[in-house]
Structure 1
């Protein structure tokens, strides 16, 4: 079965068609030489019919590359021998590759050559001959034009499919990059705060080597609880990545600020919290405020350990303003390295909600972060 398919594919391919056309022209030449028919060669010497027939047949092998030249070479063949095949198949090739004024001119020339009588054949150049030649030329031209239009259409559809596939791959790659960025932000939001608390608590034990058993026990318990919470948060993030639709834990909102601040107080950071928001804001806004406070406390743990921090969340008109200020740190060292992506992620998060964020150093050496978010922001924001 496979062998038959290969033979059929070869027979109907370009090589098979070239062989068929060449064989047909050779048969016409043989008939013109060895059969005494007036319309086949007329009074033209048989040797000249044979030479022209062989040349025309050989020229057909070059019609794909030089269709116009083969067609011009076929004109004396058809005029002296009556063999229309070299000029006809050359005209068909011209129609395949171009459909313009060149095709029109080639069709007119071929029709005229087909209508011209072969010397000694007894035929005349009249209306009937001109009609017959025109019909013959149109058959070759329209046949080639159909093949050319069909090929152009197939090529256009293939190019369109290739472009669609390329665009699909680009969109998939963009989606992968966006998902990687989202996962990186999620990991930062969830784990950085807990890790900074663990580092802060462990650093407290290191600098207070003379602490009594009760202090060590209490700090160790805080370390254990914080580490367990960090593992639970990490497990939840990983669960989201391979989630198959199970229900996930609710995302933090404005009402969860007190437990967040309390965890920093337990780690030894004096934090004051003042929330004055009369009406519960949209979930996206409350979640953004929570992430702002979380990131600011994380930076305090990393770069300003032990520095007193003040957090105020107030609603003024149609916007909620969050201000986080920490005093100048006692120690200039950092417990954990920072990648600098936290505040960048916050700006992106707040800009999606139509808000603004600014941060900078205070004159006394402290640091202040101010975020303003419109209360009416209703766009969905991934936590």
Structure 2
């Protein structure tokens, strides 16, 4: 029934035990198989109750009209019998009102012109039409029913009411049936639209949650890459040195083993920090380790120097403590990733880290390394190639820019500018 389906969006998880309380049009919306196959929806228990009530109302109205005709001596007996037969057939046709509402309402217009006992069935057909069809069909059919009233009561005047009174009374009954049907239709459409809106809201909320989870996973992946790659590179470099230098002295072996132990310990600590952030309500809960800032660059360079890298730091920021936390953390991660890449792809070269800028000009982080020397004995540390992409994204999210590429001396250069508001 197209009128009931307008704006439909009833959720498919409506309890099956309560579907008998719904009209068949709503139950059809809850049954995807019926919608796909195009089958006529089956009557629910509520439909049977309503249809039987409508049938009983049409019969009672017809009986009252037949009793009124029996008291009219001017009406021939044969005409009264034909009237009652047509009225009985009209009452039986009420059971077709759900499947053929428009055809039934149109057929009842000429039937109502010749049968007084079919009046109740005619009102029910107009009510059903108003429930299940758009207003244009209701307007034409209802207008035709009102138009034939003067002709009907001119041919068969009411024995108790005057001509104007019976016209007004019957016209009000027709308009009331149509208005009631339109009210029921609008109420159904409102309920269906609210259900559709609720389902869309649930879908949008689920999509937003999935997007938030995806963004969180991406942020965690970047954080794990930045944090753990630095530590694990140290492990790989020193483990490779031990592998390719079996004749190393006892002191060198002990020193490499110490660096491996410290790097593994720090990697575990950083991993616990990330897991703690995932479990905490906020990223900066007091229970976790503090996030690195620009002031931690000295410790990062010292750690790399202790691991055997040739690193120099030129920190020309006079007010390091005034650097915003996001900017300082981003600058630290950029320097950390650049040092990790230099250690992996250009081992043994000298790396220069420079940090300059201020509140008016922004913060500039530059990391340069010379061309790698040939004849390296250790195998290169594998990389995913996603580190620089992650750094560019970090700088962009912070409102800055990042440039990277080979330098004029054959080395590699990473330069980032971050806003300092």
With over 3 angstroms needed to count, the CA separation of the structure-2 counterparts of 1:36 and 1:194, relative to structure 1, is same
Three-state SS of the structure 2 residue aligned to 1:59 is helix
Q: CA deviation at 1:208?
A: 2.1
Q: Does the aligned pair in 1 maintain the 2:157–2:163 contact within 8 Å?
A: no
Tell me the residue number matched to 1:19: 52
Q: CA deviation at 1:7?
A: 8.6
Tell me the alpha carbon deviations over residues 46-102 of structure 1, each in whole angstroms, 9 at most, x when there is no partner: 552343123312322222233232122223432333121222112112222445343
Q: Does 1:100 align with 2:120?
A: no
Q: CA deviation at 1:183?
A: 1.2
1-structure distance, mates of 2:147, 2:209: 59
Aligned residues: 373
Tell me the residue number matched to 1:57: 91
Map residues 187-266 of structure 1 onto 2, 5 A cutoff. Answer: 187-243=224-280, 247-266=287-306
Tell me the residue number matched to 1:336: 381
Three-state SS of the structure 2 residue aligned to 1:13 is helix
Q: CA deviation at 1:369?
A: 0.5
Map residues 317-332 of structure 1 onto 2, 5 A cutoff. Answer: 318-330=361-373
Three-state SS of the structure 1 residue aligned to 2:70 is coil
1-structure distance, mates of 2:339, 2:248: 25
2-structure distance, mates of 1:6, 1:168: 27
Three-state SS of the structure 1 residue aligned to 2:153 is coil
1-structure distance, mates of 2:130, 2:264: 78
| Alpha-carbon RMSD | 3.0
With over 3 angstroms needed to count, the CA separation of the structure-2 counterparts of 1:228 and 1:11, relative to structure 1, is closer
Q: From 70, 94, 103, give the equivalent of 1:37.
A: 70
With over 3 angstroms needed to count, the CA separation of the structure-2 counterparts of 1:120 and 1:252, relative to structure 1, is closer
Q: Does 1:144 align with 2:181?
A: yes
Tell me the residue number matched to 1:84: 119
Tell me the alpha carbon deviations over residues 183-216 of structure 1, each in whole angstroms, 9 at most, x when there is no partner: 1112112111100111111112222221111110
Map residues 292-371 of structure 1 onto 2, 5 A cutoff. Answer: 292-315=334-357, 318-330=361-373, 335-371=380-416
Tell me the alpha carbon deviations over residues 140-161 of structure 1, each in whole angstroms, 9 at most, x when there is no partner: 0111111111112111211111
State TM-score, norm by structure 1: 0.87
Tell me the residue number matched to 2:195: 158
Q: Does the aligned pair in 2 maintain the 1:40–1:81 contact within 8 Å?
A: no
Unaligned runs of 5+ in 2: 1-16, 23-42
Unaligned runs of 5+ in 1: 377-383
Tell me the residue number matched to 2:146: 111
Q: Does the aligned pair in 2 maintain the 1:301–1:335 contact within 8 Å?
A: no
2-structure distance, mates of 1:352, 1:41: 94
Three-state SS of the structure 1 residue aligned to 2:366 is strand
Tell me the residue number matched to 1:67: 101
Q: CA deviation at 1:234?
A: 0.8
Q: Does the aligned pair in 2 maintain the 1:29–1:49 contact within 8 Å?
A: no
2-structure distance, mates of 1:111, 1:314: 89
With over 3 angstroms needed to count, the CA separation of the structure-2 counterparts of 1:41 and 1:199, relative to structure 1, is farther
2-structure distance, mates of 1:297, 1:163: 48
1-structure distance, mates of 2:363, 2:102: 79
Three-state SS of the structure 2 residue aligned to 1:370 is strand
